[in-house]
């Protein structure tokens, strides 16, 4: 190869290199100019993603393109302000909030809602859940929703509380009786009674009754009655009584357990008793002496069947209403209260008296009847009334009813 040829080849290689360098430099210049122009064309905007705010420059034409360029996928329930079709302008403020799926538990029913709200009250309002002042919401209405994305709504209902007899209407969100009592700070004592089981579920209109039971001890001193003892006295006419010893009450101390429900006593149980003073018994002598009347005509005899009818000169004198009866009258036994057998002695003069007016066994004189003995009693003979014994029913009918003078001799 000649020197001329080698020189030409070298010149051609040098020109090629120069062309390549010029081309590279031009391309680099164009790229730099394009990059500068691209950067110059970008617009500064503010982007708020949930609670974070950043300043960025973008060449995106719409809000949607900007979010896409930032790898933000906008879901159906997300909040984008302004809308994704809004044209990007310098200084534009863009807000994107990602919707959350919130679970609302209310009255044993579960509802889900997609929302971008943070405050519990706003979320419930968005879910169109109406609340009353008595309802209980967890978390509180004024709090922001927690990370568990759950809201619990307990709807209040009315019930009746009767505590110690005091009744009032109340609102409650409690599920059980025990929970209701705890929330209302109602303490039950050991003996108190509850009309429902503690673990029983409450329903609207339920009646919760607490009976306050109180047990107290009461010590009282009470009188004790005396016993009445009778003994036969042969010196005392039959039918007459005489107090030998007056009775006297004793006293005993008794200890009771008293149960009260709502302040009213419902039971009283004797626990113990102690005698403080023994009672003194009453002794009564009961007459057993039987008087047998004689049919003698002597004035000195008690009852004279055919004796004088003249009034004695001494004795207690007063007027009475007199009737007559026989030993064979209806209901009569024929034997007097003092033991005289009138059927065996039909002519004896015996009168039935009120012992409080004429003592049994007394000797008496009766106007128009003569001397007799107060030896009988009668159910209808009360006060100043006497009943005269006569032999026959005809004599009794004939006597009728009269006012007569009576003298008690002894």
pLDDT digits (tens, 9 = 90+) for 373-403: 999 998 889 999 999 999 998 888 999 999 9
Q: Average pLDDT, whole number, for the chain?
A: 84
Q: Is the pLDDT reported for residue 297 higher than 70? A: no
Statement to judge: residues 340 and 374 lie in one domain: yes
Neighbours of 143 (CB within 10 A): 13
Local structure of residue 226 (DSSP, 8 states):
P
Whether residue 20 is contained in a domain is answered as no
CB 150 within 8 A of CB 103: yes
Statement to judge: residues 200 and 253 lie in one domain: no
CB 289 within 8 A of CB 236: yes
131-139 average pLDDT score: 89
Statement to judge: residues 301 and 385 lie in one domain: yes
- How far apart (Å, rounded) are the C-alpha atoms in residues 111 and 121? 15
What residue numbers bound the domain in which 58 lies?
Answer: 43-97
Whether residue 191 is contained in a domain is answered as yes
- How far apart (Å, rounded) are the C-alpha atoms in residues 75 and 116? 12
pLDDT digits (tens, 9 = 90+) for 225-274: 999 998 888 877 766 788 889 999 999 999 999 999 999 999 999 999 99
Q: How far is CA 215 from CA 192, 222, 271, 272, in A?
A: 10, 21, 13, 16
- How far apart (Å, rounded) are the C-alpha atoms in residues 97 and 51? 8
pLDDT digits (tens, 9 = 90+) for 322-370: 999 998 887 788 889 888 889 888 889 999 999 999 999 889 999 999 9
What pLDDT shows up at residue 7?
58
Domain end position, chosen among 171, 190, 211: 211
- How far apart (Å, rounded) are the C-alpha atoms in residues 278 and 172? 62
Whether residue 26 is contained in a domain is answered as no
pLDDT band (50, 70, 90) for residue 40: low
What pLDDT shows up at residue 383?
94
Whether residue 300 is contained in a domain is answered as yes
- How far apart (Å, rounded) are the C-alpha atoms in residues 272 and 250? 17
Q: Is the pLDDT reported for residue 118 higher than 90? A: no
CATH number at residue 180: 3.10.20.30
- Is the bond preceding residue 342 a cis peptide, omega within 30 degrees? no
Token pair, residue 316, equals 């207690």
Token pair, residue 303, equals 């009852």
Statement to judge: residues 75 and 181 lie in one domain: no
What region, left, alpha or beta, does residue 90 occupy, with left being phi > 0 and alpha being psi -120 to 50 degrees? beta
Strand pairing class (207-211; 157-163): parallel
Whether residue 25 is contained in a domain is answered as no
Whether residue 382 is contained in a domain is answered as yes
Domain end position, chosen among 77, 97, 117: 97
Q: Which residues pair with 282 in a beta bridge?
A: 228
Q: Is the pLDDT reported for residue 154 higher than 50? A: yes
Helix, strand or coil, per DSSP, at residue 98: coil
Token pair, residue 311, equals 């009034």
Statement to judge: residues 303 and 319 lie in one domain: yes
Statement to judge: residues 388 and 330 lie in one domain: yes
pLDDT band (50, 70, 90) for residue 32: low
pLDDT band (50, 70, 90) for residue 30: low
Statement to judge: residues 224 and 305 lie in one domain: no
Statement to judge: residues 329 and 399 lie in one domain: yes
Q: What is the pTM of this model?
A: 0.48
What pLDDT shows up at residue 10?
56
Statement to judge: residues 302 and 400 lie in one domain: yes
Q: Is the pLDDT reported for residue 45 higher than 60? A: yes
Statement to judge: residues 344 and 365 lie in one domain: yes
pLDDT digits (tens, 9 = 90+) for 3-21: 565 555 556 666 676 677 7
CATH number at residue 231: 2.20.230.10
The count of domains in the chain is 5
Whether residue 390 is contained in a domain is answered as yes
Whether residue 18 is contained in a domain is answered as no
Which residues contact residue 239 at a Cβ distance below 8 angstroms, ignoring those fewer than 6 apart?
287, 337, 338, 355, 360, 377
Statement to judge: residues 296 and 401 lie in one domain: yes
Token pair, residue 277, equals 């003073």
Statement to judge: residues 312 and 378 lie in one domain: yes
pLDDT band (50, 70, 90) for residue 303: very low
pLDDT digits (tens, 9 = 90+) for 65-115: 888 888 888 888 888 888 888 988 888 888 888 888 899 988 778 889 898
């Amino acid at each position: 190869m000649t020197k001329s040829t080698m020189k030409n080849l070298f010149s051609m290689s040098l020109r090629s290199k120069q062309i390549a360098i010029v081309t590279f430099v031009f391309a680099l210049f164009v790229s730099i100019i394009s990059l500068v122009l691209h950067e110059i064309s970008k617009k500064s905007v503010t982007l708020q993603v949930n609670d974070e705010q950043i300043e960025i420059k973008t060449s995106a034409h719409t809000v949607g393109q900007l979010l896409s360029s930032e790898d933000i996928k906008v879901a159906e329930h997300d909040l984008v302000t302004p809308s994704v079709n809004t044209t990007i302008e310098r200084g534009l403020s863009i807000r994107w909030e990602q919707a959350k799926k919130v679970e609302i538990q209310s009255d044993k029913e579960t509802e889900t809602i997609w929302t971008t709200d943070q405050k519990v009250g706003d979320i419930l309002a968005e879910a169109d859940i109406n609340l009353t002042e008595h309802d209980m919401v967890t978390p509180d209405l004024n709090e922001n929703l927690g990370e568990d994305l759950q809201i619990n709504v307990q709807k209040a209902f009315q019930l009746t509380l009767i505590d110690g007899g005091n009744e009032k209407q109340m609102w409650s969100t409690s599920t059980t009786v025990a929970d209701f009592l705890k929330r209302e700070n109602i303490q039950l004592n050991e003996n108190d009674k509850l009309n429902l089981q503690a673990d029983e579920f409450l329903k609207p209109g339920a009646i919760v009754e607490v009976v306050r039971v109180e047990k107290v001890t009461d010590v009282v001193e009470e009188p004790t009655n005396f016993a009445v003892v009778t003994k036969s006295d042969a010196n005392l006419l039959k039918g007459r009584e005489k107090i030998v010893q007056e009775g006297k009450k004793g006293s005993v101390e008794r200890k009771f357990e008293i149960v009260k429900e709502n302040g009213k006593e419902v039971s009283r149980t004797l626990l113990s008793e102690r005698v403080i003073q023994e009672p003194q018994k009453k002794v009564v002598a009961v007459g057993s002496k039987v008087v047998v009347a004689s049919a003698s005509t002597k004035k000195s005899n008690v009852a004279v069947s055919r004796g004088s009818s003249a009034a004695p000169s001494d004795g207690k004198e007063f007027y009475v209403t007199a009737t007559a009866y026989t030993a064979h009258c209806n209901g009569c036994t024929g034997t007097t209260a003092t033991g005289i057998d009138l059927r065996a002695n039909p002519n004896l003069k015996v009168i039935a008296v009120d012992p409080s007016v004429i003592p049994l066994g007394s000797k008496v004189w009766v106007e128009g009847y003569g001397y007799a003995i107060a030896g009988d009693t009668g159910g209808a003979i009360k006060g100043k009334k006497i009943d005269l014994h006569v032999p026959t029913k005809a004599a009794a009918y004939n006597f009728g009813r009269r006012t007569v003078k009576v003298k008690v001799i002894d």
